[in-house]
Structure 1
Amino acid sequence: MLKKKSFKGILMLSMLAVLLFAAACGNNANGGNTNNETGNATNSTTNAPTEETVKLSGEVKVDGSSTVFPLTEAAAEEFNKEHPDVRVPVGVSGTGGGFKQFCAGELAIADASRPIKDEEAAVCKEAGIEYTELSVAFDGLSVVVSKENDFVDHLTVEELNKIFMTGSTVKTWKDVRDTWPAENILFFSPGADSGTYDYFNEAILDKAGIRNDTAITFSEDDNALVQGVSGSKYGIGYFGFAYYEENQDKLKVVPVDSGTGAITPTYDTIKDGSYAPLSRPLFIYVSNKELERPEVKEFVKYYINNIGPLAGEVGYVALPDEQYATEAAKIQ
């Protein structure tokens, strides 16, 4: 009897242990599922792409005006600090050279120191290149002579016309003003592909064209013009205000009289337009197709939103804040 009872007791204890073990396994299984679901949710949240984790890369190719070059270069350098994987090479082939590449679909952005010409716009249209024009800053085209020149105090528009117009017979400074020395003038000018050339030709020469003889040196490189004028006591040239600002230790800027008195280019006279007729807006032209690329759109947005403060740093005059807001709206 004792053996039977002991066997039954052992059997019942065994069955109870099995039941307890099964219950424990069931609870662990449910707990495991809960943990896995939580883990999956956590991983899903962690791996989801966010705006902060998206990195831009690629290339934003720019070329064109040597005058606009310092602005675009400054914007590119600052942009690259935030987006180091985006390359923004900036060329200097002149406004006309930039538009040729732009309308051939070779550029994302064309730098321009004048508005696009009708014939250039027609080439772009024929090629299916749609674009957005954005104003970025003001410039005052500056007439300069060597620091050693101690007699030129100002020039009138008529005298500038006489000096630079095609077919001019002016050879010496005395030919310009009787009281000046009979020393041969060396002339320096941006090349025909430059927007600065076009602007000077229009504003000063009424589109008559710039003289082209052995006494004049043309260059698309404004730094070469700076060197030419600064190294020639009797030289004269013209280029963007920023290049004068950068080299005022060796150049003398010439006030220009357009009929209301001689005005020197400064930040204030350029911005308020009193430095006439040589105050001008500067532009970038952006391909609308290229704007669909995120790296291009972000660069252009950065450019417009930040170029105001940068303009003064590189020798140009910022647009009013409300105009930058208008330009930014065009990008959207």
Structure 2
Amino acid sequence: MTKKNATIYDISKKLNVSVATVSRALNNHPRISQATKELVVKTAKEMNYKQNNLAKALKSGETKNVGIIVPFINTNFFSSVIRGIEEELSPFGYHVIICQSHEDVNIEKKHLNTLLNAQVDGIFMSVSRTTVDTEHIEHILNTSRTPIIFFDRKKDIPGISTVTIDDYRGGYEATEHLISEGYKNICHFAGDLNLEIYQNRLNGYKQALIDHNLAVKEENIISTGSSIDAGIEAIKTLWKRKSIPDAIFSASDFAALGACQELKKRKIKIPQEVAVIGFSNEPFTQFMELPMSSMDQTPLIMGNKAGQVFIDHIKDNSSGVSIEKKVVLAPKICIRKSSKRE
């Protein structure tokens, strides 16, 4: 007997037992004795038997695979969320399939269809910035039993659970910190306002100014991309004006990094002349020549919570009850030299 293409029929023939006995032994059936189970498993390994996972999935209704769709994987935030999901689901035997939308709703749609065709047991998703119409997501919700869980970037769709941080609170606390350090003319790099997370950070910024009797100046709100170049260009725009800010709250760490680079190039002292605080607490923020303050989004915890919501959903469905969950995590401010006056 060669080790190639061994089946349960081959194992049955070698051990002179029924195919049903082999199948039950491999699936740890309680009616099969421990001695028989051990013998069958040992023989299966010797014969290089590989269990047909597809057939098993069709029988059980579970593939033990889940899909994760993110805009990009090459940021600490999204890679940490993925790690958190994996950590939570691995003990339950789940594997993850990772897809990148590259901020393109059409690619996002293709990935959703691919994951559904692969019969994944669930989909974790952070929507692209070009996802305005949510018909493709609602269609899945209405025609499939596959649960979708939004994390970080979400759309308000009834029946879909979400795991986010309190972006409004993050924007408020970042701005309030700058005010407490004595800064009064605070500019905001607002990110892409098509996304709810950036709208909430902007609203938090505005409310903090209002609560501390400071004027909300529309010229101090700049819609930027979430890139280093966007931060550089924003500084160039600001410094063409008569009234320049004494502090910057950026909704993106990368735009904040670009701002720091351009301020340094212009020999403007941070934080003495202009303070800077970002959002996300990317690893580079603490290793910069002048460590940069930022709001930590606790991505690992976000991933853990998203995984827990999925497991809860599976348990709820097994009992015939489906519960929509809304988990909101608190951001944590990390104060460093870029925003703290001596």
Common fold: TM-score over 0.5: no
Structure with more relative contact order (C-alpha pairs < 8 Å, separation 6 or more):
1
- TM-score class normalised by the smaller sequence: 0.3 to 0.5
TM-score by length of 1: 0.39
Larger Rg: 1
